[in-house]
Amino acid sequence: MTTPIETDIAIIGAGPVGLFTVFEAGMLGLRCVVVDALDALGGQCIALYPEKPIYDIPGHPRIEAQDLIARLTEQAAPFAPHYLLDQQVVALSGDVADGFRLVTSKAVTIAARAVVIAAGCGAFGPNRPPLDGIEDYEGRSVFYLVKRREDFRDRQVVIAGGGDSAVDWAISLSEVAAKVSLVHRRPKFRAAPDSVAKLDRLAADGTVDLVVPYQLAGLEGAAGVLGGVVVATLDGTARTIPADVLLPFYGLAMTLGPIADWGLALDHNHIEGQADGRTSVPGIFAVGDILSYPGKLKLILTGFSEAAMAVHAIHPIVFPDKALHFEHSTSRGVPGPGT
C-alpha cells in the first residue's frame, strides 16, 4: 500500500468547475488534489469541443473552450494543486468526522477531509452507430468528436445526426472541408433555430449537402481508410457518399460509474443536493452539471457559484477552530498555497 496523498479537498473532475473549485479553495487556504479519468485538464470542454466558442462566460463575449480551460488552469496554478490524470476514483470510504480515503484506478490513495464531485455528467462515451466493422475505422476515418478543425481541411466529411453537434459542426467544417454531407433520418433538425436557419442557407447554395431522409447503412474502404459511406432510406433505397471521414454525432452515453455506489441520494444520473453543493452524505459535496436541485440551471457560471459556496461550507470542516472572515479578492489578492 502506497503512502496516501494528504490533502484538504479531493476534487473529482478537472473540467471548468473542478478547476475553479481549486481557485476558490486556495483563496481560503485549502489544499486540493484533483482526479480525472481523462489524460488532460478540461473535461468535456477539451474532450468534445475545444475549438467551440462559449458566449455566456461573464467578461468574455466569446471564448473558445480550450482558452477557457487555459485561463482557469492559470488561475488555479498559484495554489499548486496536485493533478492525478488518466485515472478514476474507484473506491471511497470514511466519513466527515475521521476524513475520507479515496483509491484511484492506478492504486493511488488520497486522504482528504472533504470530497467535491465535479464530474460533469459523469463518465461518458459516444453512442456508436451499429455498422459492421466500424471499429476498424475508429481513430483513423471515424471520429466521435472534433478536436481541431484543421484536421479536416480539404477532406470529404460525412456527418450523421440531427442535433446541435451535427448541425454546428456541419456549419463549421463547411469552411475548411472539401465537401460536407449531413445525413439525418428526417428533414427536421433538433438544433438551435438560428443554427438550422444557417444550415438551410448553406444547403441552398450548395455548400452543405443535406442527405435526408437517410440513415447510415454501411462503410466502404479497407485497412481503416474510408472510401465511402452507404446510406439508405427506410424503404431500403441505398446510395454511397464518397467520404474520407465519418463523424457520427448520436449523443453520449452517460453513467455515474463508481459514484453510484457511494451511498449518495441520486436523481437518475445526477446527485441530489443543495445550491451550496451539500449532498446527502456530510463532507461530500457536488458542483456543476452533476448536481441536481430545484431550479438548477445547467450553466458553467452556475457551477462556478456552487464551487464558491461549497468551499466556504468545507472551511469549518477543515478548520473547525478557525473563524472564516469573508474578504473580496480585490482586498486580499491571491495568497500562496497553504496560507
Dist CA 50 CA 263 (whole Å): 34
Run of H or E including 166: helix 164-173
3-state SS track over 6-39 = EEEEEEECCCHHHHHHHHHHHHCCCCEEEEECCC
Q: What's residue 30's pLDDT? A: 97
User: Same CATH fold, 128-250 and 5-124+253-332?
Assistant: yes
- Position 207 confidence tier, pLDDT thresholds 50, 70, 90: very high
Mean pLDDT score, 246-260? 84
Partners of residue 92 on adjacent β-strands? 102
Q: Please list, in sequence order, all residues whose beta carbon lies within 8 angstroms of the beta carbon of residue 113, skipping any fewer than 6 positions away.
A: 7, 8, 9, 96, 99, 100, 283, 314, 317, 318
- Position 251 confidence tier, pLDDT thresholds 50, 70, 90: confident
pLDDT over 90 (residue 12): yes
Q: What's residue 326's pLDDT? A: 77
Q: What's residue 9's pLDDT? A: 98
Residue with cell 496523498: 5
Encode pLDDT of 266-321 as tens digits: 988 899 999 999 999 999 999 999 999 999 999 999 999 999 999 999 999 999 99
Q: What's residue 39's pLDDT? A: 84
Mean pLDDT score, 199-227? 96
Encode pLDDT of 153-178 as tens digits: 999 999 999 998 899 999 999 999 99
pLDDT over 70 (residue 55): yes
Pairing of strands 252-255, 99-104: unpaired
Residue 121 C-alpha from the chain's centroid: 7
pLDDT over 70 (residue 1): no
**Residue from 228, 183, 179, 182 nearest 207 by CA:** 179
Mean pLDDT score, 232-255? 90
Encode pLDDT of 18-51 as tens digits: 999 999 999 999 999 999 988 889 988 887 778 7
Mean pLDDT score, 132-145? 93
Q: What's residue 291's pLDDT? A: 96
Q: Three-class SS of residue 113?
A: strand
Mean pLDDT score, 165-194? 94
CA 271, 275, 276, 279: dihedral to nearest 10 degrees? -30
Dist CA 272 CA 274 (whole Å): 7
Note the CATH architecture for domain 128-250.
3-Layer(bba) Sandwich (3.50)
Q: Where are the domains of the chain?
A: 5-124+253-332, 128-250
Q: What's residue 292's pLDDT? A: 96
Q: Three-class SS of residue 186?
A: coil
Mean pLDDT score, 61-68? 94
Pairing of strands 5-12, 109-117: parallel
Which one has a higher pLDDT value, 339 or 144?
A: 144
Mean pLDDT check: name the lowest of 125-134, 138-147, 155-164, 323-332.
323-332
Share of the chain above pLDDT 70, in %: 96
Which one has a higher pLDDT value, 253 or 110?
A: 110
Mean pLDDT score, 182-190? 95
Residue 306 C-alpha from the chain's centroid: 17
pLDDT over 80 (residue 88): yes
Angle in degrees, 0-180, between the axes of helices 16-27 and 65-76, rounded to the nearest 10 = 20
Which one has a higher pLDDT value, 128 or 16?
A: 16
Q: What's residue 228's pLDDT? A: 97
Superfamily of domain 5-124+253-332: FAD/NAD(P)-binding domain (3.50.50.60)
Q: What's residue 83's pLDDT? A: 97
Q: What's residue 328's pLDDT? A: 79
Contact assessment for residue 208 and residue 171, using Cβ atoms and an 8 Å cutoff: yes
